[in-house]
Structure 1
Amino acid sequence: MSELIAALPMYDWPEARDEVDAQWASLRDAFRRKGIDAPQSIVRRNGDLPPVPGGIRDGEGKLVAPNPTTLPPDELDFHKLWMHPALLFAQTCWGPMELGLSRHVQVVGQPSYDAYEGGQGELYSSALVMRSGEGPEVRSPADGKALLPLDLIRDRRFTFNSLDSMSGIIALTRDLKAAGENLNIFSSRSESGGHRDSIVAVAEGKADVAAIDCESWALAQRFEPAAKTVRIVGWTGRRKGLPFITARTTPEKNVRAMREALAGLAEQPPIQRVG
């Protein structure tokens, strides 16, 4: 049994778990063919994480996260997962990476977003959504540039999944700045806890605008009834999508083997591309 762990938490909606498990099975088998002792299944809760006596420490021995056994077992703390020394493979977001996670992990590759409107190769964008009837619906710009309906969103209530989310708030913040605006264009801002929660908040009238990454929006179209009452009124510019990562301590030969495995899967759905 492998002592390593893997997770694909970013698009692991309850309704899509069989698909996520199948994605991991494809990755796992490709990694094993390269000689990597990949775990049989992915972790979905803190209780699945191996204990780290004394807590998780960085390369200099500084404590950066507690022993996972001290965390609520039925929840999943993404940041503790990402910094776990036994991490073989997981997804993260460039927001946390820019805020310091990059010091603790290695980037293995990037997924492809070709299957989603707003995506192109390793680049993705976020759909700006509002309730139906509050603005004209728009398609993703072919050039991948931001399409911000400034007059439409001005003085509206904005909700976002988390402050460290590239797709939920950071990308929009940067695009607004490029347009000579900032988040003060909104009358208020609130944190929803997740892209799905943001969609529901807009649909229920608790907020007016949200930025939803294109893959999460595609999931919402399939599984979230509230998505039927909201529409896309704008787009953020395309940026690098969610990277695949491994622990900083993962041996270079294993990182290289995983990159080769991802390249070998590049022609199979879901497309994986080396970063």
Structure 2
Amino acid sequence: MSESIAALPMYDWPEVRGEVDSQWAQLRDAFRQEGVDAPQTIVRRNGDLPPVPDGIRDAQGAAIAPDPASLSPDELDYHELWLHPALLFAQTCWGPMELGLSSHVQVVGQPSYDGYEGGQGELYSSALVMRTGEGPEVHSPADGKAVLPFDLLRGKRFTFNNLDSMSGMIGLTRDLQAAGESLDIFSSRSESGGHRTSIVTVAEGRADVAAIDCESWALAQRFEPAAGKVVIVGWTERRKGLPFITARTTPENTVRAMREALAGLAEQPRIQREG
């Protein structure tokens, strides 16, 4: 039995748990064919993470995260997952990676966003959404450049999923700066805790605009009724999507085998070898 852990938490909405499990089964079987002892199932709770009695430590022995056993067992702390020494495979975001996570993990590959409006290969963008009727609908531009309707955004209330989110906060911040603007274009900013919650917040009138990554937007159109009350009024620039990662201590031959497995799945939707 594998002692490693895996997770695919970033698009693991309750309505698609079965689809996510199937995605992992495809990955798991491909990894095993390359000789990787991949776990049978993915983890979804802190309680599923193996205990680390002395806390999670970096290569120099400094504490970087607490023992998972000390956290609420029914929640999932993403940073705890990403930093866990037993991590074989998971998704993360380039926001946390740029903010320090990259020194503790290895990138294994990138997913493909070809199946989503706003996506192209390993690149994705975020839809800027407002309530229906507050602006004309805008489709993703072919060139992947940012489309920022300054006249609509100015003075509005902005809600975002997390401060360290590339799709919900950092990417838009950079696009505004490139255009000579800043987040000060908004009258207020509030943290929602998730893309789905951001959509609901806008639809219910508690905020006016949010940036929703293109895959989350596709999920919302399938499963979130509030998505029918908002419209896309702009897009952020396309950037690298969510990377697949493994622990910094994962052996080189294992990382190489997982990359070979991803290469073998390259013709399948959502899977693409590291560029």
How would you bin the TM-score normalised by the shorter chain? Answer: over 0.9
Match of 2:264 in 1: 264
Residue equivalent to 1:20: 20
8 Å CA contact 2:112–2:269 kept in 1: the answer is no
**Matched ranges for 1:38-57 at <5 A:** 38-57=38-57
Letter paired with 2:79: H
Shift in Å, 1:262: 0.2
TM-score by length of 1: 0.99
Distance 1:178 1:227 in 2: 29
Identity percentage of aligned residues:
83
| Partner Cα distance (1:274, 1:144) in 2 | 20
Structure-1 separation of matches of 2:243 and 2:232: 25
CA distance in 2, matches of 1:51, 1:136: 51
Q: How does 1:83-232 map to 2 (within 5 A)?
A: 83-232=83-232
- Corresponding residue for residue 34 of structure 1: 34
4+ runs deviating over 2 angstroms: 269-275
Cα separation, 2, equivalents of 1:254 and 1:274:
15
RMSD over equivalenced CA pairs, Å: 0.6
Count matched residues.
Answer: 275
What amino acid maps onto 2:163 in structure 1?
L
Cα distance in 2 between the residues matched to 1:198 and 1:270: 24
Structure 1 residues 29-70: Cα deviation after superposition (integer angstroms, max 9, x where no partner) = 000001110000000000000011100000000000011000
Report if the CA contact (8 A) 2:110-2:271 is conserved. no
Amino acid at match of 1:12: D
Runs of 5+ consecutive residues of structure 2 not aligned to the other structure: none
Whether 1:248 aligns to 2:248 is yes
- Give the secondary structure class of the aligned counterpart of 1:139: coil
Specify every segment of 5 or more residues in structure 1 that has no aligned partner in the other structure, as ranges.
Answer: none
Give the secondary structure class of the aligned counterpart of 1:129: strand
CA distance in structure 1 between the partners assigned to 2:137 and 2:259 by the alignment: 39
Superposed displacement of residue 269, structure 1: 2.7
Instruction: State the one-letter code of the partner of 1:26.
Output: Q
- Write out per-residue CA displacement over residues 199-250 of structure 1, whole angstroms, 9 at most, x where no aligned residue: 0000000000000000000000000000000000000000000000000000
Amino acid at match of 1:151: D
Helix, strand or coil for the counterpart of 1:22? helix
Instruction: State the Cα distance separating 1:272 from its structure 2 match.
Output: 2.5
Is the CA contact 1:23–1:270 (under 8 Å) kept in the aligned structure 2? Answer: no
Shift of residue 25, structure 1, vs aligned partner: 0.1
* SS of the residue 1:181 aligns to: coil
Match of 2:65 in 1: 65
Contact 1:161 1:192 in 2 (8 A): yes
